[in-house]
Amino acid sequence: MNVDLNRIRPSKTAVRAFDGSQREVNGEIDLWINVGPCPFSITFQVLDIPNAFSLLLGRPWIHSAGAVPSSLHQIINFIAE
**Could you tell me the residue range of the domain that residue 49 belongs to?**
5-78
3-state SS string over the chain? CCCCHHHCECCCCEEECCCCCEEECCEEEEEEEEECCEEEEEEEEECCCCCCCCCCCCCHHHHHHCEEEECCCCEEEECCC
Q: What is the pLDDT of residues 30-72, one digit of tens each?
A: 999 887 777 888 888 888 887 777 777 777 778 877 788 888 8
Whether 27 shows a pLDDT value over 90: the answer reads yes
Identify the pLDDT of residue 68.
86
Domain count, the chain: 1
pLDDT of residue 2: 79
